[in-house]
Amino acid sequence: MAKPLDYSTRIITTLHRRHHRALVVLEGELDWQLSQVSSFITHYAAPLWLGSQAQLDIDVVTAKKAKNWLGQEVDCLIVDANCTFSSEAFGMLAGTVVGGGVVILLVKSTGADGDKPSWQWLRNQFTRNNCFYFQQSDLTLLADEGVHLERQLAHFEAHNDDLDRCIVQPLCQPQPMRTDKPTAPSISVIDEAWGCVTADQTRAVEAIRKVALGHRKRPLVLTADRGRGKSSALGLAAASLMRERNIKIVVTAPSYATAETLFKHARHQLDRNSNGFRVVSESEFHWHTSSLEFIAPDRLIEQEIACDLLIVDEAAAIPSPLLIPLLSRFNRIAFASTIHGYEGTGRGFAIKFRGYLEKLMPQWRGLHIHQPIRWAENDPLEHWVFEALLLNAEMASLSGTEKSVKANTQAYISTNQMLTKAELLADPQRLTQIFGLLINAHYQTSPADFFQMLDDDALLVWITQSDDQVIGCCLLSEEGRFSEELAEQVTLGQRRPKGHLLPQSIAAHIGLTAAAMQQGGRIQRIAVHPTLWRQQIGQQLLNDITCWAQDKGFDYLGTSFGVADELVAFWQSAGFSLIRLGVTKDAASGSYSALAVKPLSPRSFTWWQDAQDLFAINFSAQCHEQFKDLEATTVRLLYRLLASYPSAEPARIEGLVFKQLSAYCQGGLGYDTAAGSIEWLVKRWLSFAVPTSVIYDFACLNEALLINKVIQKKSWAAVIKLHNLVGRKQAEAAMREQVSLLLDSLHSSDKT
């Protein structure tokens, strides 16, 4: 009896003829899986194993190091999902597989992960006609095992029959295995002058060049799915301009690593004749009198930097507060963003950013690259990945729904509901609409978020429906209920349990241990269909969640968000009060992260009031240092917000300050977090509220250190230099020691 995957050549031949890729799922015991994999890899030169340990003599990469293979080329990817499955790494490396290649997914028939909702979802995707699915148990029951493959091939070819749009390749022949890492792609160039490999890429290069050479204030927004040569087109365009004229081109992106492909292609085009080529650094090189340089977005905003062309790669991943000012500062800009990608999506960016462009630069132009480079169009593997990981999830198409909601404000209130995991899986269309809303609202929504939404029992999914369309959704994470010992350890910075971000932030960054011991609920994400904004849909959804949480015995709800005037107003109107502002800007939003809480029980009300008072004490001092670059309108809004909080008695304030300073002295809080409390203590000492004689009974106080940093607000670098300290760590330790001395002195003076 023939083994079913002795027919691997049939599958590979079909894929090579179409220049397509496909997923092959092998479900069964490991020995059986490996025997089937062996029949595949003998046909490929560059197989790669994704997993903790390769079971065959081929290259291996772990999920954590999958990013290292981006930009490489693989013809056969084996994904070991027998023990664990990383949707991020899978989506990432699937894009490195070339036309004619396969992704082989190894799955146990039973196992710990097999019962998870995410695996139920994946197993449903295995039966789709754009992949091959082989189960060891089923195959052993067939009288002729070859029939199983023939049936799947027939379904596959019928479902993916679009040969007119495919590139015909010669049949695959067996090749010897290789153990070295794959080299850069070998792709035919159709445009010798610029180095483009598709007609779409040529059009993209032409459009980028037009931004530099045409009229001012006509930016380009270039979008593409992954694998279309978007970043390489940016590099090719930059190189062509540098060859032709004296030009300074600046590239910005979330990180240099994001723009590395751009630089690689630009260097490759110019370095063919090394005369005049000069590398200044990894992120900057010159060609005669022209230059290409990477500059981070925040530096681009803070410094007066001039250039002839600004290229913004992966613009959707750059926070709006950093992105929007570029429009008024630079006259020639080419924006580029991935629409569907393993790291997130740029569709929300395209929708939101279009509004800013229409207002500031109405003559902007958009261009989408359709043609893939490494495989033919209508690729089965790409379709499967998009559908299985919901990278192409779309929001509901409202049409009449929008009118009915606006006409009858009660139409959606009665349909707010929490969904179980089973209910999520039972309705794929509804699930897709939910994730489509999240993708549109948050750039960094990724396959890992989708799997967490399905698998995490502590993550509750709430939706708002109207006419069976999802128009709003909210993810609520159940958090807290730590033991007293663990809560104290978190407050002192000794433990950081996985998850539970809200109670841990309150305990570790404010010094309030009680919050970690109580039942909290964190609003992880909330999204409303953009055509229905400002219809109170989000507020009504939060109201229903609040009522449910109170009935279930929750002590408080909370959330974290990038501080912006409209968001502060939204959460304030929903009954959430700001209790903290993070002292560093959030990488995702480009804004300071605000923490807001809504108390639901009497026992949470006490520490919530403490948190409000401590925020008021610290914010005033932090505005001189930690928040000196906060927008003036936001500072005004927060001051007025704090003024609306009830005033605390001086004795109560003193008790709160002592409590926070005690946590600071024990190492639980950082200087930036407790800056206001520290300033309160130092000012009290300077005003002789702390007798000097008492202080000197303890040790020699470093007055200059306290005054230089706390009162004069000198930078840490200046303090380190003035006091001959070695680095920030030693300087903070010295400050902690001095504050501890003052605090002990104050307690001693109170006793005398």
Is 439 known as a binding-site position?
no
Query: Distance (Å, rounded) from C-alpha 183 to C-alpha 189?
Result: 17
Is 53 known as a binding-site position?
no
Helices (H), 585-631: 602-622
Residue type, 166: C
Q: SS3 sequence, 660-711?
A: HHHHHHCCCCCCCCCHHHHHHHHHHHHCCCCCHHHHCCCCCCCHHHHHHHHH
Is 458 known as a binding-site position?
no
Tell me if 5 sits within 8 A of 40, measured CB to CB: yes
Is 527 known as a binding-site position?
yes
- The residues facing 344 across adjacent strands are 341
Helices (H), 21-160: 30-41, 87-94, 117-126, 136-139, 146-159
Query: Distance (Å, rounded) from C-alpha 365 to C-alpha 210?
Result: 11
- Which H or E run includes 503? helix 501-510
Tell me if 114 sits within 8 A of 376, measured CB to CB: no
- The residues facing 281 across adjacent strands are 284
Separation in Å, CA 225 to CA 368, 377, 438: 9, 12, 19
Residue type, 696: Y
Query: Distance (Å, rounded) from C-alpha 220 to C-alpha 214?
Result: 11
Tell me if 634 sits within 8 A of 565, measured CB to CB: yes
What interhelical angle do 602-622 and 650-665 show, nearest 10? 80
Tell me if 389 sits within 8 A of 351, measured CB to CB: no
Query: How many Cβ atoms sit within 10 Å of the Cβ of residue 688?
Result: 8
Tokens of 125: 């995707």
Indicate the DSSP class of residue 116. Answer: S
Tokens of 326: 């570029």
Query: Distance (Å, rounded) from C-alpha 289 to C-alpha 553?
Result: 69
Is 201 known as a binding-site position?
yes
Is 526 known as a binding-site position?
yes
Q: How many CA atoms lie within 13 A of 354 on its CB side?
A: 10
- Which H or E run includes 432? helix 428-441
Query: Distance (Å, rounded) from C-alpha 338 to C-alpha 225?
Result: 5
Q: Which of 211, 207, 210, 206 is nearest to 194 (CA)?
A: 206
Tokens of 288: 């005669």
Tokens of 542: 């939060």
Separation in Å, CA 233 to CA 6, 39, 195, 201, 208: 41, 38, 9, 6, 9
- The residues facing 251 across adjacent strands are 294, 311
Q: Which residue has the tokens 């490759």?
A: 268
Long-range pairs of 82-87 with CB within 8 A, sequence gap ≥ 24: 82/30, 82/33, 82/106, 82/107, 82/108, 82/111, 83/52, 83/111, 83/113, 84/113, 85/113, 85/119, 85/122, 86/50, 86/448, 87/118, 87/389, 87/446, 87/447, 87/448, 87/450, 87/451
Q: Residues marked as binding for acetyl-CoA? A: 526-528, 566
Binding site members for ATP? 201, 374
Annotated binding residues, written as ranges, equal 201, 374, 526-528, 566
